[in-house]
Amino acid sequence: MAKRIVINLEPGNEPPVRRKSRRWVRILALLAIVVVVVIGLAVVGGFFWWRHYQSTPAYSLTLLVDAAQRGDADELAQRIDSEAVANNMVATVSKKASARYGLAMSSATQQKIDQVMPSLLPRLKQTIHDEVAKEIKQFASSSEPKPFILLLITVPSLVKITTEGDLAKAAAAISNRNVDFTMRRDAERWKVTGYNDDVVIQRVVDSVMKELPAIGAFDSGDSMFKNSGRPRKKRGR
């Protein structure tokens, strides 16, 4: 008589090896879900961080240095508010120009300077823009040209930035001297609205002095010189 082989398929009688393999499948599936969730959160977090960083002064300065490095005049013009820079610098330039006259300064000379400065303003704005752009190019060319991704890392490390509302101050070292930028928020970016560098200011003053009265060229109409040239009355003996 033949013997029958009976296999009990009830849940409690599964082979141990099969139960362990299913347990590992569930564990690996859970780990895969966790990894996917973590990667997804990192991607979303990185996207929002990048969008926020693009609205910071550091990113705008990076764009400025990159444009200078590539010689992109249009991008430089977008990142520098030449009119605001000139307006913020014109008072300093005028004061330093007047100071060069020293003892030769007279009321007539000062009046001429005050009359000439408004007519010089358009040219002064262009001069200031050119000088600032030149300095930024020099800052960008102080080392080998870098890809934009490397500039994103290096520029913030070379510039100290403090932000207060829609205004920002940035201090950097260019050619072994300190240079200060003032920046103002412009939509999602920032524009340079102020630039403080003694070397650039002196070069601008040199340019302005060519249009001002020559030092020592006194106006004979100045009351001070009229008085000095008037013959003295002889005292009676």
- What pLDDT score was predicted for residue 13? 53
State the Cα–Cα distance between residues 128 and 122, nearest whole angstrom: 10
Structure-token pair, residue 147: 């890809």
Average pLDDT over residues 160-171: 91
pLDDT-based confidence at 68, cuts 50/70/90? Answer: confident
pLDDT-based confidence at 58, cuts 50/70/90? Answer: very high
For residue 79, give the amino acid letter.
R
Average pLDDT over residues 161-167: 91
- 18-57 core/surface letters (b: 16 or more CB in 10 A; e: else): eeeeeeeeeeeeeeeeeeeeeeeeeeeeeeeeeeeeeebb
Supply the pTM of this predicted model.
0.66
SS (H, E, C) the chain: CCCCCCCCCCHHHCCHHHHHHHHHHHHHHHHHHHHHHHHHHHHHHHHHHHHHHCCCHHHHHHHHHHHHHHCCHHHHHHHECHHHHHHHHHHHHHHHHHHCCHHHCCHHHHHHHHHHHHHHHHHHHHHHHHHHHHHHHHHHCCCCCCCHHHHHHHHHHHEEEEEECCEEEEEEEECCEEEEEEEEEECCEEEEEEEECHHHHHHHHHHHHCCCCCCCCCCCCCHHHHHHHCCCCCCCC
Please, what is the average pLDDT of the chain?
77
Of 45 and 86, the one with more pLDDT = 45
Of 145 and 210, the one with more pLDDT = 210
- Sequence ranges of the domains in the chain: 17-52, 60-214
Question: In this structure, what is the dihedral angle of CA atoms 70, 76, 77, 82, given to the nearest 10 degrees?
Answer: -140
Average pLDDT over residues 92-121: 77
